[in-house]
Amino acid sequence: MQLDPHVLHLAIRWIHVAAMATAFGGAVMVLALSINTTPREGDAGLLDAATRYEWVFWAAAGVLAMTGIGNLATFGQGLPVPGTDWAAAFMAKLTAVIALVVFSIPRTLAVAGIRAGVAAPRQRERIRSLYGATAAAFAVILGLAVWLAHG
Least distance in angstroms from the C-beta of 28 to another protein: 20
Beta carbon nearer to another protein, 118 or 139: 118
CB-CB neighbours of 46 under 10 Å: 21
Q: Give how far the C-alpha of residue 51 lies from the chain's centroid of Cα atoms, to the nearest Å.
A: 15
Query: Which of the residues 71 through 100 are near another protein (CB under 8 A)?
Result: 72-79, 81-82, 87, 90-91, 94-95, 97-98
Contact call for residue 104 and another protein (CB under 8 A): yes
Q: Do 49 and 30 form a contact (C-beta atoms < 8 A)?
A: yes
Among 37, 51, 132, 143, binds another protein (CB under 8 A): 51
Residues with Cβ within 8 Å of residue 15, at least 6 apart in sequence:
63, 67
Contact call for residue 112 and another protein (CB under 8 A): yes
Least distance in angstroms from the C-beta of 80 to another protein: 9
Contact call for residue 1 and another protein (CB under 8 A): no
Distance CA 103, CA 100 (A): 5
At residue 82, φ and ψ (nearest 5 deg) are: -55, 145
Contact call for residue 22 and another protein (CB under 8 A): no
Under DSSP, the state recorded for 3 is: P
Alpha helices in the chain (DSSP H): 5-36, 44-75, 85-115, 123-150
Q: Which residues bind another protein (CB under 8 A)?
A: 3, 5, 8-9, 12, 51, 54-55, 58-59, 61-62, 64-67, 69-70, 72-79, 81-82, 87, 90-91, 94-95, 97-98, 101-102, 104-118, 120, 122, 125-126, 129-130
